[in-house]
Amino acid sequence: MARVSYGHNARVGFLDDAFAGRPDATPFERVFSLRPNLFEDYRRFYALFWEKQLVDPVVLELCRLRIAALHGCESELRVRYQPALDAGLGEAKIAAIPDAADSPLFSEAERACIALAELFAIDPHAITDADAARVVAVLGDAGTVALVEALALFDGFARFRLMLGVEASPDRVEVPAPGGRAPIY
């Protein structure tokens, strides 16, 4: 499948109009400019998961990165959200995500949530009542609903990035929580 390059400094006609005066727009922001009316709604909704913190930011980040890895989404894999880093998430634990089920680096809550994220991305019909109950036991009802909503967003937008060929940053990028005027990578 052919990919369209929307490099960080690329000039892409109609995309330039949406980001006139913003030469620093990220590749994701530039691609999202195909529907600028949806961009601010996306930004606000995505920010809720990090601002409301119904789910630990480390758990969110572990699940986001696991879904990105399952889809092979390099542009997502290069991003690290600051709230998770501030809460103690490090690269050693990130590298161990594929082995979370057996790794002593992960808590039971993290294991349950990563397992749910994997099923959600691969085959949501395979999620059992027992899988859901493990997450409810550690996050409660509100936390579980928030996690599932976040998983849907992570999964959907990893696929969105792949479908539209959003380029990965050349280096790992640490960014603040989504929201406000912070760039979205």
Residue 48 counted as domain residue: yes
In a domain, 143, yes or no: yes
150/92 Cα distance (integer angstroms):
23
User: What mean pLDDT comes out for the span 19-32?
Assistant: 68
Count of the separate structural domains present in the chain: 1
Query: Do residues 113 and 63 make contact, with C-beta atoms less than 8 angstroms apart?
Result: yes
**Is 60 among the domain residues?**
yes
pLDDT for 40-67, tens place per residue? 788 888 888 888 889 999 999 999 999 9
Is residue 7 included in any domain, yes or no? no
Q: How far apart are CA 184 and CA 25, in angstroms?
A: 9
| pLDDT tens for each residue of 120-148 | 999 999 999 999 999 999 999 999 999 99
In a domain, residue 68? The reply is: yes
CATH number at residue 104: 1.20.1290.10
- Residue 35 belongs to what domain range? 14-175
pTM given for the model: 0.83
DSSP 3-state of 80: strand
Whether 173 has a pLDDT exceeding 90, the answer reads no
In a domain, 182, yes or no: no
For residue 36, the model assigns a pLDDT of 77
Residue 101 resides in a domain: yes
Direct distance between the N- and C-terminal alpha carbons of the chain, in angstroms, rounded to an integer: 23
Task: State mean pLDDT over 160-172.
Answer: 79
Residue 174 pairs in a beta bridge with 80
Place of tokens 């000039």: 11
What mean pLDDT comes out for the span 164-169?
78
* Per-residue pLDDT, 26: 76
> Is 156 within a domain?
yes
Note the pLDDT of residue 158.
Answer: 92
Single-letter residue type at 68: A
